[in-house]
């Protein structure tokens, strides 16, 4: 199965499992909270009755003992007893502000009564024909239980994000090591035979009959090409090798090379709207970028079509737009094409655009993306590079 499809499925399965766990936890905590609300309501009902009994019944040792027990049993639910007009008479399980006047304490209790009334309907009790009210609010445990799912949710989201970032970072670091290692090893391996080929080329160029043979010229071109490729590989992993270059010139050079190697049914054109903009770049690596994008464009055309390159400036950013007349990229694949191993070609490795992205973003601090694409309408890739102010 396609690795990206599999990855996509695994990601969705994990997200789905996460949602089920979170939803399950929310539902269960809500159920617990509802049960606790019911218990607290019953407790306060009993508490109110005990208050009523203690205040109004004829003194009976057993009843008085029982009522006191019930009243004392409430050690968690904050309650305030008020008279008919809502004036606080007494309170329980409420921490009153210390060292304040009676008025301030009353004010505090009245604020608490408002909070309590917003949470629960007060329970009315009768003291010798006079109505009193028992106001109460959720206990600390119940309040914590109500917030718990949200705290849990925040922690899960935060941990998942941190895990995702750490995993991605280590994955990227690992990929980077492999890339750099492979590229350096390739450059190293090519180095020795290349030196011999240089010597052979120079020898052929001086000695007859090779000197006048057109094959020698071709051989020289291929050796030079091999040299360019080796130079590209050796640049991977090196930092800070950027120099200010005329963008149009760099592109032109690469197009010239491509032109000589591609079918005459593919036309190339270039327009510079910048008046010779300069950008900091590594020519060797940027050539690789242009080549990879153009080669993909040619592959998308089935041999016949056009590639048009425009260079423009947007603020201080230089944009290189490479537009082809190929078959286009389906919308849902526009992001995937930059991932390593993604290819729709029989002989493709799916590495060209990954390399393009790494070179543009990591080596040049720029951006590369699909600016526009439509099925059978062609594709435009945009490369953004930091411009250099001309002096
Ligand atoms: N200009 C384009 N038009 C249409 N499809 C494109 C274009 N450029 C890239 N693609 C799609 O993106 C895929 C990935 O491109 P990439 O260059 O990374 O790999 P590849 O060309 O398939 O193989 P490789 O470059 O490693 O030989 C291609 O297989 C193709 O489906
Ligand atoms: Mg390619």
Phi, psi at 307, each rounded to 5°: -125, 125
pLDDT at 341: 87
pLDDT at 378: 95
Q: 222-226, 309-313, 347-351 — which one is most confidently predicted on average?
A: 309-313
CA 62 to ligand 1 centroid distance, Å? 90
Residues 6+ apart with CB under 8 A from 177: none
Whether residue 133 has its Cβ less than 6 Å from ligand 1: no
Arithmetic mean of pLDDT over the chain = 89
pLDDT at 292: 96
pLDDT at 4: 67
Question: Do 357 and 368 meet the contact criterion of CB atoms below 8 Å apart?
Answer: yes
Nearest CA-CA partner of 2 in 342, 354, 353, 355: 342
Residue pointed to by tokens 């102010």: 389
Nearest CA to ligand 1 atom 31: 344
Question: Do 145 and 33 meet the contact criterion of CB atoms below 8 Å apart?
Answer: yes
Q: Sorting pLDDT into bands at 50, 70 and 90, what band is 7?
A: confident
CA 87 to ligand 1 centroid distance, Å? 79
Q: 1-5, 98-102, 368-372 — which one is most confidently predicted on average?
A: 368-372
Distances 289 to 23, 137, 274, 379 between C-alpha atoms, Å: 47, 68, 20, 16
Residues 6+ apart with CB under 8 A from 223: 194, 197, 198, 201
Residue 301 pLDDT exceeds 90: yes
Q: Cα dihedral angle (294, 300, 301, 303), rounded to 10 degrees?
A: 70
pLDDT at 3: 66
Burial group, residue 135, by CB count within 10 angstroms (0-12, 13-18, 19+): buried
Residue 390 pLDDT exceeds 60: no
pLDDT in tens, 272-287: 999 889 999 999 899 9
Residues 6+ apart with CB under 8 A from 54: 64, 67, 68, 71
Phi, psi at 41, each rounded to 5°: -60, -45
Residues 6+ apart with CB under 8 A from 41: 120
pLDDT in tens, 146-173: 888 888 889 988 998 999 899 989 988 8
Nearest CA to ligand 1 atom 28: 343
Paired tokens of 203? 């020898």
pLDDT in tens, 58-91: 667 777 788 888 889 899 999 999 999 989 999 9
Residue 383 pLDDT exceeds 80: yes
Which of these ranges, 255-259, 295-299, 378-382, has the smallest mean pLDDT? 255-259
Whether residue 326 has its Cβ less than 6 Å from ligand 1: yes
Whether residue 11 has its Cβ less than 6 Å from ligand 1: no
pLDDT at 99: 83
Paired tokens of 144? 């914590």
Nearest CA-CA partner of 297 in 267, 272, 336: 267
Percent of the chain predicted with pLDDT > 70: 97
CA 351 to ligand 2 centroid distance, Å? 7
Phi, psi at 382, each rounded to 5°: -115, 130
Phi, psi at 371, each rounded to 5°: -80, -40
pLDDT at 389: 65
Annotated domain spans of the chain? 3-138, 143-222, 241-388
CA 334 to ligand 2 centroid distance, Å? 14
Nearest CA-CA partner of 383 in 296, 246, 304, 279: 279
Whole-angstrom distance, CA of residue 223 vs CA of residue 190: 11
Q: What is the mean pLDDT of residues 282-311?
A: 94
Whether residue 297 has its Cβ less than 6 Å from ligand 1: yes
Q: What is the mean pLDDT of residues 128-143?
A: 91
Residue 113 pLDDT exceeds 70: yes
DSSP string of 247-316? HHHHHHHHHHHHHHHS-TTEEEEEEE-SSS-EEEE-HHHHHHHHHHHHHHHHHTTTT-EEEEEEEEEETT
Burial group, residue 228, by CB count within 10 angstroms (0-12, 13-18, 19+): middle
**Collapsed DSSP state (helix, strand, coil) of residue 246:** strand
pLDDT at 214: 85
Whole-angstrom distance, CA of residue 231 vs CA of residue 216: 22
Residue 336 pLDDT exceeds 70: yes
CATH of 241-388, one of 3.40.228.10, 1.20.120.450, 3.30.565.10, 3.40.50.300: 3.30.565.10
Whether residue 300 has its Cβ less than 6 Å from ligand 1: yes
């Amino acid at each position: 199965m396609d690795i990206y499809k599999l990855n996509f499925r695994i990601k969705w399965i994990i997200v789905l499992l996460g949602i089920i766990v979170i939803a399950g936890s929310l539902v269960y905590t809500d159920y617990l909270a509802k049960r606790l609300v019911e218990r607290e309501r019953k407790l306060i009902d009993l508490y109110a009755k005990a208050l009523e009994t203690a205040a109004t019944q004829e003194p009976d040792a057993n009843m008085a003992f029982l009522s006191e027990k019930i009243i004392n049993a409430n050690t968690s639910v904050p309650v305030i007893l008020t008279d008919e007009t809502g004036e606080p008479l007494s309170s329980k399980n409420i921490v009153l502000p210390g060292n304040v006047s009676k008025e301030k304490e009353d004010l505090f209790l009245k604020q608490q009564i408002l909070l309590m009334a917003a949470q629960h309907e007060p329970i009315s009790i009768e003291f010798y024909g006079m109505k009193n009210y028992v106001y109460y609010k959720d206990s600390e445990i119940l309040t914590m239980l109500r917030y718990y799912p949200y705290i849990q949710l925040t922690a899960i989201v935060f941990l998942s994000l941190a895990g995702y970032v750490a995993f991605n970072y280590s994955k990227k670091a690992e990929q980077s090591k492999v890339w750099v290692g492979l590229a350096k090893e390739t450059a190293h391996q090519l180095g020795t035979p290349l030196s011999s080929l240089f010597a052979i080329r120079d020898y052929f160029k001086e000695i007859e009959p090779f000197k006048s043979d057109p094959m020698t010229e071709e051989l020289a071109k291929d050796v030079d090409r091999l040299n360019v490729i080796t130079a590209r590989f050796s640049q991977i992993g090196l930092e800070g090798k950027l120099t200010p270059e005329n963008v149009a010139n760099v592109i032109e050079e690469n197009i010239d090379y491509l032109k000589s190697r591609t079918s005459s049914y593919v036309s190339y054109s270039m327009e510079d709207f910048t008046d010779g903009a300069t950008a900091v770049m590594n020519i060797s690596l940027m050539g690789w970028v242009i080549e990879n994008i153009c080669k993909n464009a040619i592959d998308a055309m089935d041999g016949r079509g056009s590639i048009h390159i425009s260079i423009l400036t947007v603020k201080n950013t230089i944009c290189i737009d490479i537009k082809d007349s190929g078959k286009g990229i389906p919308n849902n694949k526009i992001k995937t094409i930059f991932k390593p191993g993604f290819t729709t070609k029989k002989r493709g490795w799916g590495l060209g655009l990954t390399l393009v992205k790494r070179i543009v973003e990591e080596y040049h601090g720029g951006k590369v993306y699909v600016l526009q694409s439509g099925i059978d309408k062609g594709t435009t890739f945009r490369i953004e590079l930091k411009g250099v102010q001309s002096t």
